[in-house]
Structure 1
Amino acid sequence: MAARVEQLVTSGTFSLDGGTWDVDNNVWIVGDDSEAIVVDAAHDADAIVAALGGRALRAVVCTHAHDDHVNAAPALAAATGAPVLLHPDDLPLWKLTHPDRLPDGELSDGQTLSVAGTELTVLHTPGHAPGAVSLYAPALGTVFTGDTLFAGGPGATGRSFSHFPTIIDSIRDRLLSLPPETVVRTGHGESTTIGAEAPALDEWVKRGH
């Protein structure tokens, strides 16, 4: 059976630099009826376990280590036995949320993850966070961008560990080079496509988020 993409929305808070905000997060489940990976274990491990429905979880993949994207990762790993994978450049952020529990493995640019016969390629896309990654699944015509690219523009870069010129470079060089019909599945909000976002790049640069 071919892999499919399922979306679960969980709610909680995001805290950084002394502020806290209410957020809804997209949790993406990629797999078939027997196995899956989870992209961003946000807020509610029990809800994610329920959505998995007994499937073997191969990995908990973190697009970056802001607390709203990783706060349920250790509990999900404990419940399923799956390893938590994170790009090492985001360890300082991870340790703000989980000081006593390191990730189980590292993500690196160009690395390939396989689930249900489908390959996802890790693209290092820093800017929103130093170790931010996107996951490109050409067979599914989709890319999971975390908080790097949204419908309508780049992720926020106004807080610690973020950098606007870097996120623009990541989007231009790593994401907008993908086929225009590629579906962009984001960390929050609605999905979009590469083709829908590409024409606005120069405008984002002018606005200088």
Structure 2
Amino acid sequence: MLGKILRIIGIILMGLASALMILGGIGTVCIAWFPENWESLAMMAPYKLIFQTAVIFTILAGILGFWATIKLARRKPNGWNMAVIALLLSLATAGTKMYFSNMARGSVAPTNMRFYFSLFVLLYFLALRIPAIWDKIRFEGDQPDEGVGGLAGGAAAIVAGGLTLTVHLWAGPSHTVNGINYVAYLQTELLAAGVGLIIVGLIPLALDLWKTAVSRHTSETLKIPVIDNRA
């Protein structure tokens, strides 16, 4: 039971970390390619190439992270390895962005949130490799999954969708210039992505409930009454 709980937590954390990577990469496009368009970001112009490279590798890390999340949910080989690589890549890109952002404008938000969360998830995944724990997790194998992977993957997608829908709340303050919240310019895209992730996450949950209901109905239907003829 403990192994299932730890596995579910790991899948959800990895899905959330991957969503932060994707959102972090997309959210830095303005600094990486168009800092001259905003007076408050003009000081970042000398570091455009660095931030452009960071954006590309951050998005790649997010894609790799989502791929790892799917592998972990389906218990496919190398899921853990891919997750660790994605998290290390996220830490490297976030750390680079934080260093140059702090040097140029004296602020590291909101990249610092992604950095510390990626670090937390990485430490969690490294802790799972402790032999006594790893033997119970069973991220890979041919044993029956009992629906745990699907439920965990669905929960991860729902959490990622919620994070996407609320990005204007936690990333808005650092993307507000002269009273204008530039996150609002992507409101339609973020809304579509967030709702889409939640719908995708609800599908395995709905299927599991349906299978449970069908299984229970079938078992009750097949019950054969026992007739006592001793009377």
TM-score, structure 2 as length reference: 0.26
Q: Which has the larger share of strand?
A: 1
Tell me which structure has the larger Cα radius of gyration: 2
Normalised to the residue count of structure 1, the TM-score between the two structures is: 0.28
